[in-house]
Amino acid sequence: MKLYELIDFVPKLSKHSALDNKDRLRKNTKADQIGNGSFGTAFDTKSNKRLNQVTKIGKTGSIMSGNIAKKVEEDGWLLWMQAVHRAQKRGEDNPYFPIMDDLHIRKDKDGLLSYTANLHKLLPFRTAKLISNMDLMVSLREHMFGPTDITFSDGPDAANNILFHLNQTSSAVDRNLAAALNMVDQLIYTSREEFMKDIHYGNVMWRITGTMPQLVIVDPIA
């Protein structure tokens, strides 16, 4: 089976809710909850088969409208991941994209959606060992947005400046970052839903590579 065959954006009827699947995961594994957002919860299952993965289980919906989603396009995270998946299938290897290994979307009797996904493990944006490193943060900031006249007082100051510029699409000098941010803006602009850009420290993370940490945009639409 090809990897992409494990990722299905077509909802399937199911009697199980997001809460059911969280309970099942906790019962069948030694899963630790490692992250929690408005609609989804991330778990480390402690499985030898998933050493580099986290399992995300969530319900769908829109913060702006307050409604639970009945379509993939009504949920900001699924809308983003669908666009990322399509780009990756076209051969776009953008390092700012998250990597998802499988996805299953469930639809209950009322048509409401929930999902389970396995994604490559990342580090939180505010990982102290990273953002306290002044030279590293300034180097990453300049790689993404170019030189600046601002004098940063410490690493976290430079990290906060990165977050600020991530919300200014036109300021990116890294072409991959510019492409990713433009895709976010385009999805919001063309969607019929009430979405907004939602890039903050909880919605971007770090991928550890052989050289420098790589920023990853994980959940930029709300």
Stretch 54-62: mean pLDDT, rounded?
A: 88
Q: What is the DSSP letter of 151?
A: P
Write the pLDDT tens digit of every residue in 145-194: 999 999 999 999 999 999 999 998 788 999 999 999 999 999 999 998 88
Q: Which residue has the higher pLDDT, 215 or 6?
A: 215
More confident residue, 201 or 24: 201
Widest Cα–Cα separation across the chain: 57
**What CATH number does the domain located at 3-121 have?**
3.30.200
Of the listed ranges 48-62, 144-158, 179-193, 207-221, the least confidently predicted one is: 48-62
Sequence ranges of the domains in the chain = 3-121, 124-217
pLDDT in tens, 117-138: 999 999 999 999 999 999 999 9
45 vs 203 pLDDT, higher one: 203
Q: Residue 15 above 80 pLDDT?
A: yes
Rounded to whole angstroms, the Cα distance separating 199 from 217 reads 8
pLDDT at residue 65 in the model: 62
Which backbone phi and psi does 118 adopt, to 5 degrees?
Answer: -115, 125
φ, ψ for residue 111, nearest 5 deg? 85, 5
